Amino acid sequence: MLIRSASGLRGIAEDHFTPELINKYILAFITTQNIKSCVIGRDGRPSGKQISQWVIDSFHKNGINVENCGLATTPTMQVMTEKEHFDGGIVITASHNPSEYNGLKFLQTDGTFLSPEQCEELFKAVDQNVSIDPPDSLGLVLDYSTANEEHIEKVLAAKCIDADNIRKKKFKVVIDAVNGAGSFILPMFCEQLGCEVVTMNCNGDGDFTRIPEPLAENLDSLEQKVLEVGADIGFATDPDGDRLSIVSNKGKAIGEEYTLLFAVMNFYSNVKKYLLKDVKMNKQGKELWNFPFEHGAVTNLSSSKMIDDFLSISDLESYRTKIGEAHVVKEMKKRNIWIGGEGNGGVILKEVHLGRDSLVAISMILNLLITKSKRVDEIISKPIINSYIIPSYIFVKDKIKIGKNIDFDSLESIFDCDEINRLDGIKFIWSDKWIHIRKSNTEPIIRIFAEASTQDEVDELINTLKNYLK
């Protein structure tokens, strides 16, 4: 099955991708986005080099100039598209899907993904077999060799990251890039932050020696390596390097949900220091801070409740969107909010670029450890904000194969809950737990997310749903 969604195009490479298919999508991209110049990059999948060449050939023969970054993370491509003012960009990746998959992610000139509406327009053009007049001349094909360095430079310039302070700490970190696009840039970045770096699965050949999605249950080897070398922290990414998962100094994979929480905590712990425009005093002598953005954070419906708890305790607003980076980014733009992301380990810092970025996540996590003068295990055991302790939850991701169409309306009667949210699939919400069911944008599955105070409560939520769907 060839999957088309707001996340772009995905399918099993050997079964679906051909020069003819690639050309149809490139023509649609050129016509719907008015592309005159484009930048491309890929993750390490075995099929990536061939598909990259087909993409290059299509742009070339249709008169479009294209620059090739080679092996590059999705956030690197987003930064380069915006920074160098390309008309668009293409990332050849299937993100966390198995190695036999590949895909195309489409970027607009500001480095953000095409909106769902723009994707629909592109797919319609494909289905209509859109064509263009033969060009007067062939497009230029160039290598873009400095993308990694430019991406690193952009992240290190962020004001809410104190790179010099991080360097003084001399963290020892372990990097697991699953032999994907982050294999070279992530160790390089951490070294520039003064870290002693131990690598595993960082050869970039796309041989996924673990399940590529960086869920806690897939990080056994990283847990062992952190303990073996006595590291302060371990970091794991997905194949295209936009998501980050954490392994604590105790060799415990704490899950992707803490990535965004730590980033938001760091942002608002350091925001006065780094992003202050002006400060005035009111008549009562209270400081009035003038920030260039609105207070709060944006995340999706399936992210942990810990984000809401932290924001509420800190008198900040929490905004929820449909699942998908494009939806989070749209809300951040609408509300002029500078920090957001998704509970899958994706952190978005507007000051760098409007896209999930593992480099941003790493730097903000290390910055938080310095700010709090604590190790990872100490923060998660008692995350204290303004004398309040953020409750910890059991967060579980599950899935079922699509065997038949699910009528989400029919699910309403399953649970007696406090609130039902229908923004994306259906989400049942109580004061201290929730369960969310939706169709995946990237695989032929139904995704299930659940969170509660205990494992028994989470299991009960998921089992109740699965028994109903049998």
Domain 257-357+367-388 is classified in which CATH homologous superfamily?
Answer: Alpha-D-Glucose-1,6-Bisphosphate, subunit A, domain 3 (3.40.120.10)
Residues ≥6 apart with Cβ < 8 Å to 79: 111, 147, 150, 151, 154, 352, 353, 355
What pLDDT does residue 270 have?
A: 81
Q: Do domains 152-254 and 257-357+367-388 have the same CATH topology?
A: yes
Domain ranges of the chain: 3-145, 152-254, 257-357+367-388, 394-469
DSSP per residue over 366-384, as a string?
HHHHHHHT--HHHHHH--E
Do the Cβ atoms of 162 and 367 come closer than 8 Å?
A: yes
Domain 152-254 = CATH 3.40.120.10: yes
CA 90 vs. chain centroid, Å, equals: 16
DSSP per residue over 176-242, as a string?
E-TTSTTTTHHHHHHHHTT-EEEEES-S-S---SS-SS--GGG-HHHHHHHHHHT-SEEEEE-TTS-
Look-up of token digits 């099929």:
47
pLDDT in single tens digits along all 470 residues of the chain = 798 988 899 999 999 999 999 999 999 999 999 999 999 999 999 999 999 999 999 999 999 999 999 999 999 999 999 999 999 999 999 999 999 999 999 999 999 999 999 999 999 999 999 999 999 999 999 999 999 999 999 999 998 889 999 999 999 999 999 999 999 999 999 999 999 999 999 999 999 999 999 999 999 999 999 999 999 999 999 999 999 999 999 999 998 999 999 999 999 888 766 665 555 555 666 555 566 678 899 999 999 999 998 898 888 899 999 999 999 999 999 999 999 999 999 999 999 999 999 999 999 999 999 988 889 988 887 655 555 566 678 999 998 887 656 778 888 889 999 999 999 999 999 999 999 999 887 777 889 999 999 999 999 999 999 888 87
Work out the angle at residue 74's Cα, subtended by the Cα atoms of residues 69 and 76, and round it to the nearest 5 degrees.
55
Residue 147 backbone class (left: φ over 0; alpha: ψ -120 to 50; beta: rest): alpha
What pLDDT does residue 250 have?
A: 96
Do the Cβ atoms of 153 and 363 come closer than 8 Å?
A: no
The dihedral of CA 106, 182, 372, 170: what is its sign?
Answer: negative
Q: Measured between alpha carbons, how far is 29 from 83 in angstroms, rounded to an integer?
A: 20
Q: Taking the CB of residue 291, how many other CB atoms lie within 10 A of it?
A: 14
CA neighbor of 358 nearest in space, from 176, 222, 169, 168: 176
- Helix ranges (H only) for 290-392 are 305-313, 325-335, 358-372, 376-381
SS3 84: coil
Q: Which two tokens stand for residue 363?
A: 């730097």
Q: Measured between alpha carbons, how far is 106 from 178 in angstroms, rounded to an integer?
A: 23
Do the Cβ atoms of 96 and 178 come closer than 8 Å?
A: no
Do the Cβ atoms of 88 and 65 come closer than 8 Å?
A: no
Do the Cβ atoms of 376 and 369 come closer than 8 Å?
A: yes
Total residue count of the chain as it appears in this document: 470
Do the Cβ atoms of 253 and 225 come closer than 8 Å?
A: no
What pLDDT does residue 379 have?
A: 86
Look-up of token digits 């809300």:
331
Q: Measured between alpha carbons, how far is 257 from 239 in angstroms, rounded to an integer?
A: 18
pTM: 0.92
Domain 394-469 = CATH 3.30.310.50: yes
HEC per residue, 12-50: EHHHHCCHHHHHHHHHHHHHHHCCCEEEEEECCCCCHHH
Q: Taking the CB of residue 332, how many other CB atoms lie within 10 A of it?
A: 25
CA neighbor of 105 nearest in space, from 131, 73, 151: 73
CA neighbor of 212 nearest in space, from 97, 316, 325: 97
Q: Measured between alpha carbons, how far is 431 from 319 in angstroms, rounded to an integer?
A: 17
Q: Measured between alpha carbons, how far is 380 from 258 in angstroms, rounded to an integer?
A: 8
- Condensed to tens digits (0 to 9), the pLDDT of residues 390-446 reads 667 899 999 888 765 677 888 888 999 999 999 999 999 999 999 999 988 777 788
Do the Cβ atoms of 80 and 151 come closer than 8 Å?
A: yes
CATH topology of domain 3-145: Alpha-D-Glucose-1,6-Bisphosphate; Chain A, domain 3 (3.40.120)
Measured CA distances, 18 to 21, 53, 105, 120 (Å): 5, 11, 17, 21
